Structure 1
Amino acid sequence: MSQEFLYLINKDDLTSQNLFEIIYPNTTTNYYISDDFSKDFYTKLCTFGFISTSINIQDKIYLLPEIQFEYAVLDFCDIHISKKVKKLLNKNEFKFYINNDFLAVLKKIKEYHNDSWLEENYEKLLLNLKDEKSEDFELFCAELYNINNNLIAGEIGYKIKKTYTSLTGFSSKDKAYKDWGKLQMVLLNTHLQNENFEFWNLGHPYMQYKFDLGAKLYSREEFLNKWLKAIL
């Protein structure tokens, strides 16, 4: 994060006029900050295209909403499956679930990321949201187990209408499961496509694996045009 200043944002700022005339056109600012960890504020941010993490500043935890400059977006038909993942699919020595054990995935993510942005207040927010299910917002987790029921890879994201946005995930560091993170994503892609989702928002475009998977780069303007048509 290279932005020099973090601008405060609250629920009252999320008006159509403010979003379309000030926030969206601002090509120098992507990060904002707030001490509001309410469910209503968070889901509104998600609806308007922000992807929020959290940050600890001087021992106080803040929500860190970002309206990104660029996004990685995957249309399901563009999925690229590597030879190694195809071999894993053919062996079929795994179990894949959706929304089976959110708490187990959350625990693994925290263990996997030493410098996780999943600060305490953000984790509480997710736990408060995990049982709320509606067309407008639903937390979502994907889980990949081996045949011995060990959780090997997974991720947490959210569904809004027929879009899915990834937040964070993990995959085992054991060399025996080297490509299982990619396998989990391929299986999730198939699930989303079968459930008639419109597209997959993979967030930041700075990781090569997203483009190896078939994602395309969208500018903020391009993304918002696609996003707002799908969710409003």
Structure 2
Amino acid sequence: SSLGSWELLEKYQKDKHGTNWLTKQYFEMMQKAAADPSVNFQVHCIDLFAAEGSTEPQPTRHSVRASLMSWWRVGASRSASEGERRPVAGEIGFSIGKVYTSLSGWTGERTAEALGTVQLVLLGRWLQQRGYVFWSL
């Protein structure tokens, strides 16, 4: 859920920086704006998951979920349920038309896999495939 994405971001920011500038009130305000069909605004919650118990090679055992958009699946077992996947990186952003803005992100433990970078690369490809013309990082 999008609230689950915000909660992951909240925990990361508070653990790392002691505060989260993207408050729940601000996040909820963005969701309300996105729910109004007369406003050309959409909130995006991007989460990268590791499929637990996957027998696939390391670089391809992740699935990416984009709340309020669609599911991405990158090498994750089709039978993996929500409970079997562990969130490892993500971000919250928004789009107005074909312009996407990244607001704030998080990553789990730092590993050689550079999962925060993986999440950004996959997001960039997703935006490109859908015709976005500008990405503000």
Same fold at TM > 0.5: yes
Residue 162 to residue 134, structure 1, CA distance change in 2 (3 Å) = farther
**What SS does the aligned partner of 2:22 have?**
coil
Identify the match of residue 141 of structure 1 among 35, 41, 45. Answer: 45
Identify the match of residue 187 of structure 1 among 102, 118, 122. Answer: 122
Superposition deviation, residue 190 in structure 1: 0.3
Aligned residue type for 1:188: L
Could you tell me whether the CA contact under 8 Å between 1:155 and 1:168 is conserved in 2? yes
Superposition deviation, residue 119 in structure 1: 3.0
- Residue 111 of structure 1 corresponds to 11
- Residue 131 of structure 2 corresponds to 196
Which whole-Å CA distance do the structure 1 matches of 2:46 and 2:113 have between them?
Answer: 18
Query: How does 1:76-225 map onto structure 2 within 5 Å?
Result: 101-114=1-14, 115-129=19-33, 131-132=35-36, 136-148=40-52, 149-172=85-108, 174-176=109-111, 179-202=114-137
Which whole-Å CA distance do the structure 2 matches of 1:170 and 1:133 have between them?
Answer: 29
Structure 2 length as normaliser, TM-score? 0.64
Superposition deviation, residue 163 in structure 1: 0.7
Which whole-Å CA distance do the structure 2 matches of 1:133 and 1:153 have between them?
Answer: 30
Per-residue deviation, residues 51-85 of structure 1 (Å, max 9, x unmatched): xxxxxxxxxxxxxxxxxxxxxxxxxxxxxxxxxxx
Could you tell me whether the CA contact under 8 Å between 2:34 and 2:41 is conserved in 1? no
Residue 120 to residue 103, structure 1, CA distance change in 2 (3 Å) = closer
Query: How does 1:10-25 map onto structure 2 within 5 Å?
Result: none
Superposition deviation, residue 162 in structure 1: 0.6
Which whole-Å CA distance do the structure 1 matches of 2:105 and 2:94 have between them?
Answer: 12
Could you tell me whether the CA contact under 8 Å between 1:135 and 1:161 is conserved in 2? no
Superposition deviation, residue 133 in structure 1: 5.7
Which whole-Å CA distance do the structure 1 matches of 2:130 and 2:95 have between them?
Answer: 12
Per-residue deviation, residues 71-116 of structure 1 (Å, max 9, x unmatched): xxxxxxxxxxxxxxxxxxxxxxxxxxxxxx3122100000001221
Per-residue deviation, residues 185-205 of structure 1 (Å, max 9, x unmatched): 000000000001101011xxx
Gaps of 5+ in 2: 53-84
**Equivalent residue pairs, number:** 101
**What SS does the aligned partner of 1:196 have?**
coil
Gaps of 5+ in 1: 1-100, 203-232
Could you tell me whether the CA contact under 8 Å between 2:92 and 2:104 is conserved in 1? yes
Could you tell me whether the CA contact under 8 Å between 2:46 and 2:91 is conserved in 1? yes
Could you tell me whether the CA contact under 8 Å between 2:31 and 2:43 is conserved in 1? no
